[in-house]
Amino acid sequence: MSNFFNEMYDGGKVREPYARLEGWTRAMPAELRQMKQAEAEALFRRIGITFAVYGEGGDPDRLIPFDMFPRVFTQFEWRKLERGIKQRARALNAFLLDVYGRGEIVRAGKIPARLVYQNEAFERAVTGFVPPRGIYSHIVGIDLVRTGPDEFFVLEDNCRTPSGVSYMLENREIMMRMFPALFRESRIEPVDGYADALRRTLASVAPAKCDRDPTIAILTPGHFNSAYYEHSFLADLMGVELVEGADLFVEGGFVWMRTTEGPKKLDVIYRRIDDSFLDPLCFRPDSMLGVPGLMDVYRSGGVTITSAPGAGVADDKAIYTFVPEMIRFYLGEEPLLQNVPTWQCGKADDKKYVLEHLPELVVKEVHGSGGYGMLVGPKATKDQIEHFRLKIEEDPGNYIAQPTLALSTTPTFVEEGIAPRHVDLRPYCLVGENIELVPGGLTRVALTDGSLVVNSSQGGGVKDTWVLAE
Amino acid sequence: MILTVNHVTTYQYDAPMRSAVQSLRLFPSRFDGQRTVNWEVAVEGGVKGGSFRDGAGDRVEGWSVRGPVSEVTVAVAGQVETIDMAGVLRGHREVVSPFAYLRETTATWIDDALETLAQEAALGAEDALERAHRLSRAVAEAIVYKPGVTHAHTTAAEALALGEGVCQDHAHALIACARALEIPARYVSGYLFARDDGEPHEAAHAWAEIWVQGIGWIGFDAANECCPDGRYIRLGSGFDARDAAPIKGIALGTGEESLDVTVALESVQQ
């Protein structure tokens, strides 16, 4: 245990942000805790929040375990993270604007052309098009892990449609309902401004042709989608329509929404469907989820699509390696948040190193997500390691490897009482007229003892994330 | 040359459709080899939508037709003045990186035979331009022009195995061969004025463009064993035939679609 940073205990001493929680847990007898846990579960069930986080698939009706022990940051810690996250979000957007334009970063030899232009997520169809305010990724989810008091690493960037923000909001809501006293005693920064901030962000990127208060809608693939709850939840909170492709049509250079009072012009679409399903005329011709002709309207400036089609080229795991370079290239700044050292198996030297050190490394697929298709060397069996060796040999370009990070732990309620469990953090950065970040995010926790995989599909849970006010 | 184009495409549905939407890439490219004298594109009974020039320099225009729709007619009429540029796409403004055209598509999938054809053709070529010419010649020799043996979804590999095909197959095979040597290549759709006896004739055509370092994009028409000259009108480009299609459309409903196309090109006496 001692080689992992414990966010609450520094040896026998309680770290400052957790000072108040020490007494809170002591004063909570086991029966009360069990009762509260059951109450939390019942609340989650009643709300109906049962979905998998970002693209993880799995049973859409399964409840993700909620751990009542909050994860806490001081204002000082948060400010530092916030600066780093905003810096990264700015650089990622500058990169997208660049590679769909002149591609200066490629011309300058900072990123190989192949990684950008032959990337599956690179959409030739949007080259030369400048979206409103030049922003491609309006909601950037940045996955962070911590390994020490001042050591944070970015695990990955999510520039398309990162999900899980409804958990951030619901976790807080439920904690406040169950433990109102805790929130009276501590000054905790609120997160409930997220919906307003999101609405503001979306409205600020309305197309130039929109000359009134913009009409916004969330485009969902439908109720069978694992994140449907979040789509409808956000639509409700923002007071905007939740639509499916069949509710929309294009005419005269605009997108229209069918309503009981006749067609209504739509200005901003917060889409929660993948690029390839957006428009059968431009992408997959067999897609029934999108809107035929949508991309022509988008490219002629009649509607804004968030995140912009093509934004995915900034967040794959091969491009990730170059984000620090992007920060230097576009912003002329040094990265405030560190990347995890990454080996590209597509490079001969890197591949050699990876194959020689498989038992120590974490190996991931370049386009994988959700903790599937991933090897955690130190936890893997010999067979699993050999299996990965073959996969890497077969298609080296499809794999990257990273050292196994000593993820920090926070106290977590488990069967036997309270025990340290590994956590990560996904804050949601909004990029529009302003760059905003609500103080908090989604903390995911690996509930299995010793596990470093926090994905809900692999037995992970969620926690409320606190940022203490000064 | 001044070429007059009359191009009418009619989609008919055996049962009325709820609506139809189209994305048209039916406008002559702007480059040193072409000047548009006049040009009209209209979809009968349709509403014109957004129009823009994409990153590859192509003008794209959206159209929609409200239902019930039993027929959609796209009519193109105009005049273009052309100059023989020996295939060189000079003065064409675009922002897409040529490296974006190294992407594999279903139609341009590289199999062993295409790979071998490319490698052998390129052997001994002195420079990039000669290599491109050799690839084009190799494709022309490997695939004999024969209409009716291939269809819209035939891939480059299939056409090569067959040894026969039409301009679409030649273009796909040439793109695949270039890509096999990691040379960017793309599909171009347009018109070809092939008869100069004064009679209007079927003239929809397609060829490939190959990126030649130091020069830029150069057209190669393997089907006719030449580079595009004054008889060619260039409309637009893409990864393959589907991507570069002059008309992309969808009609919502249950009716079966049938298609009728007439393209007539005439040379104006000067």
Angle between helices B167-180 and B128-142 (to 10 degrees): 140
Residue where a domain terminates, one of A382, A403, A424: A403
Separation of alpha carbons A406 and A403, rounded Å: 9
pLDDT at A376 over 90: no
A45 and A103 together in one domain: yes
CA-nearest residue of chain B to A294? Answer: B62
A128 and B94: CB-CB below 8 Å?
yes
pLDDT at A95 over 60: yes
A129 and A256 together in one domain: yes
pLDDT at A441 over 50: yes
Domains observed in chain B? 2-267 (3.10.620.30)
Confidence grade of residue A358 (pLDDT, cut at 50, 70, 90)? very high
Separation of alpha carbons B17 and A365, rounded Å: 44
| The pLDDT value given to residue B23 | 97
A31 and A144 together in one domain: yes
Separation of alpha carbons B218 and A61, rounded Å: 56
**Is A281 an interface residue toward B (CB < 8 Å)?**
yes
A79 and A165 together in one domain: yes
Give the mean pLDDT of A284-309. Answer: 93
Average pLDDT, chain A: 91
pLDDT at B263 over 70: yes
Task: Express each pLDDT in B164-209 by its tens digit.
Answer: 999 999 999 999 999 999 999 999 999 999 876 666 566 899 999 9
A147 and A216 together in one domain: yes
| The pLDDT value given to residue A48 | 67
Angle subtended at Cα A464 by Cα A201 and Cα A32, rounded to the nearest 5 degrees: 150
Give the mean pLDDT of A183-195. Answer: 94
**Is A293 an interface residue toward B (CB < 8 Å)?**
yes
Residues in chain A within 8 Å Cβ distance of B242: 285
A125 and B54: CB-CB below 8 Å?
yes
| Out of B23, B66, B102, closest to residue A296 by CB | B23
CA-nearest residue of chain A to B52? Answer: A300
What total number of domains does chain A contain?
2
Separation of alpha carbons B37 and B45, rounded Å: 26
Residue B257's contacts (CB-CB under 8 Å, 6 or more residues apart) are B11, B12, B13, B251
- Reduced to 3 states, what is the DSSP secondary structure of residue A267? coil
Task: Answer whether residue A354 is part of any domain.
Answer: yes
The single residue listed with the structure tokens 């679609």 is B257
| The pLDDT value given to residue A192 | 95
Task: Express each pLDDT in A208-247 by its tens digit.
Answer: 999 999 999 999 999 888 889 899 999 999 999 999 999 9
A217 and A118 together in one domain: yes
**Among candidate residues A6, A4, A2, the one with its CA nearest the CA of residue A418:** A6
A159 and A287 together in one domain: yes
**Is A114 an interface residue toward B (CB < 8 Å)?**
yes
pLDDT at A368 over 70: no
| The pLDDT value given to residue A458 | 74
B21 and A250: CB-CB below 8 Å?
yes
A292 and B250: CB-CB below 8 Å?
yes
CA distance B250 to chain A (A): 7
**Is A129 an interface residue toward B (CB < 8 Å)?**
yes
Task: Answer whether residue A114 is part of any domain.
Answer: yes
pLDDT at A379 over 90: no
Task: Express each pLDDT in B52-91 by its tens digit.
Answer: 999 999 999 999 999 899 999 999 999 999 999 999 999 9
Give the domain range for residue A48: 9-337+406-467
Give the mean pLDDT of A120-128. Answer: 94
Comparison of pLDDT for B17 and A28, the residue scoring more: B17
**Among candidate residues A144, A192, A187, the one with its CA nearest the CA of residue A166:** A192
pLDDT at A263 over 90: yes
Read off the pTM. Answer: 0.93
| The pLDDT value given to residue A122 | 95
A296 and B60: CB-CB below 8 Å?
yes
| Out of A113, A129, A301, closest to residue B55 by CB | A129
- Reduced to 3 states, what is the DSSP secondary structure of residue B250? strand
Residue where a domain terminates, one of A369, A403, A437: A403
| The pLDDT value given to residue A2 | 52
Tell me A103's DSSP state: -
Give the mean pLDDT of B89-109. Answer: 95
User: Testing the interface with B: which of A124, A130, A255 to mutate, by most B Cβ within 10 A?
Assistant: A124
B102 and A129: CB-CB below 8 Å?
no
Task: Answer whether residue A1 is part of any domain.
Answer: no
pLDDT at A14 over 90: yes
The single residue listed with the structure tokens 């499809």 is A398
pLDDT at B5 over 60: yes
Task: Express each pLDDT in A20-60 by its tens digit.
Answer: 998 898 888 888 988 998 898 888 888 766 555 444 455 55
A171 and A38 together in one domain: yes
| The pLDDT value given to residue A54 | 45
Output the domain CATH number for residue A388.
3.30.1490.270
Separation of alpha carbons A145 and B17, rounded Å: 54
Checking ipTM against 0.90, whether it exceeds it is yes
pLDDT at A200 over 90: yes
Task: Express each pLDDT in A129-175 by its tens digit.
Answer: 999 999 999 999 999 999 999 999 999 999 999 989 999 999 999 99
**Is A41 an interface residue toward B (CB < 8 Å)?**
no
Residues in chain B within 8 Å Cβ distance of A254: 49
A293 and B248: CB-CB below 8 Å?
no
CA-nearest residue of chain A to B252? Answer: A292
CA distance A48 to chain B (A): 35
Tell me A8's DSSP state: S
Task: Answer whether residue A376 is part of any domain.
Answer: yes
Residues in chain A within 8 Å Cβ distance of B72: none
| The pLDDT value given to residue A451 | 86
User: Testing the interface with A: which of B43, B48, B52 to mutate, by most A Cβ within 10 A?
Assistant: B52
| The pLDDT value given to residue A60 | 53
**Is A462 an interface residue toward B (CB < 8 Å)?**
no
How is the beta sheet containing A264-266 ordered, strand by strand? A248-251, A254-257, A264-266
| The pLDDT value given to residue A260 | 92
A332 and A461 together in one domain: yes
A300 and B50: CB-CB below 8 Å?
yes
Task: Answer whether residue A2 is part of any domain.
Answer: no
A227 and A356 together in one domain: no
B50 and A281: CB-CB below 8 Å?
no
Percent of chain B exceeding pLDDT 90 equals 92
Beta strands in A126-219 (DSSP E): 139-146, 152-158, 216-219
A129 and A277 together in one domain: yes
A315 and A262 together in one domain: yes
Task: Answer whether residue A386 is part of any domain.
Answer: yes
CA-nearest residue of chain A to B182? Answer: A114
Task: Answer whether residue A4 is part of any domain.
Answer: no
Confidence grade of residue A454 (pLDDT, cut at 50, 70, 90)? confident
| The pLDDT value given to residue A365 | 86
Task: Answer whether residue A179 is part of any domain.
Answer: yes
Residue where a domain terminates, one of A365, A383, A403: A403
Task: Express each pLDDT in B42-53 by its tens digit.
Answer: 999 999 999 999
> Which residues in B122-149 are b (16+ Cβ under 10 Å) and which e?
beeeeebeebbbbbbebbbebbeeeeee
pLDDT at B213 over 80: yes
| The pLDDT value given to residue B270 | 59
Q: Which two tokens stand for residue A396?
A: 């080296």
